[in-house]
Amino acid sequence: MSDASIENEDIPLEVVSDVDQTWQDTVRSLVNAYVLVPGRIMITDYRALLGFGIVFGYLFVGTVGVWLMEPTTMWDGDRLVQSFETMAHPLGTDPQGRDILTLLVYGTRPILLMMLSGGLFIITIGTAIGTVAGFSRGRLDQILSMITDVALTIPGLPLVIVLAVTLNPESPVLIGILLAINGWGGLARNLRSQVLSIREEDYVEAAKAMNVSTGNVLLKDVLPNMMPYILYNFMSSMRGVLFASVGLYYLGVLPYSQENWGVLLEQAYSGGALTTWSMFHWIFWPIVAVVILSIGLILLSQSTDKLFNPRVRARHE
């Protein structure tokens, strides 16, 4: 066959599969990618198992636990019952006879709401501003970078105190956002520097050459490369909101409509639990609740890198 005949021969440039993918196949592939593969990876990592177990336990207590336990009131039991002294009050009681375990269970929900709302606020604002600034460059990059620099220069604690006194928020969601009001600046700046290097990669340049929209490039090519870092910051942001909320409630800065761990610490400290041994369990168990949840978030954040590592995912598919 001559070269001319080969050149004139119709050569298909696009091959279309003759097998249609059903919706069951689509669902199966999504379940495998987002449920089964992450599950297999977590099973092989003790940090992920332990961290997920701790966090899931707190979620269970904050949601189902409040339905399983009746709220405690004054003089439900004898005052200052010590921990493990009786099964009716396994963690003891406070000077008003309230069950400390029940107070911790009912204080879990508002703390989790603060952590989740604050963490989502930081991740959403920081990711949006950082990725757009790094990918767009030009005037938009300058404006967003200036906003980020201003947010980084504002002192966090005085701003939170002023806003708390001015707005007097009592909703845990609003308080969580208040505590994270300027915590997104560092994440936005770091993501911007990462995007500046990612946007020069060959696959990003190819996507732009094929006139792929900026939104699709960011969602499909840029963000997946930064997801381990974003998830790590999400866990760290929730820990930051946890410590900030407990600390400011302990200092009596934040208003409250329902008791939580920080309020329990403030009440115990005001009641002399640090100087009286018979009251020490009153302040000890809220501290233990904060420490264990923080450890769970640390372990979970350390294991997030494997979830998005292509080699690890390929080995478990």
Locate the domains of the chain by residue range. Answer: 37-316
CA angle, corner 80, sides to 75 and 83, nearest 5? 115
Residue 310 pLDDT level (bands cut at 50, 70, 90): low
pLDDT the model gives residue 27: 74
% of residues, the chain, pLDDT over 90: 50
Q: Which CATH number fits domain 37-316: 3.90.550.10, 3.50.50.60, 1.10.3720.10, 3.30.420.40?
A: 1.10.3720.10
Whether residue 13 has pLDDT greater than 50: no
- Residues 18-42 have pLDDT tens digits of 556 676 777 777 777 667 777 787 7
Contact 75, 96 (CB under 8 A): yes
Residue 309 pLDDT level (bands cut at 50, 70, 90): low
- Top mean pLDDT of 135-144, 208-217, 303-312 is at 135-144
pLDDT the model gives residue 8: 46
Our CA dihedral for 149, 151, 154, 155, rounded to 10 degrees, sits at -120
Whether residue 147 has pLDDT greater than 80: yes
Mean pLDDT across 263-270: 92
- Residues 77-123 have pLDDT tens digits of 899 999 999 999 999 999 999 999 999 999 999 999 999 999 999 99
Q: Mean of the per-residue pLDDT values for the chain?
A: 85
Residue 5 pLDDT level (bands cut at 50, 70, 90): very low
This prediction has a pTM of 0.84
Whether residue 62 has pLDDT greater than 50: yes
pLDDT the model gives residue 313: 65
Whether residue 238 has pLDDT greater than 70: yes
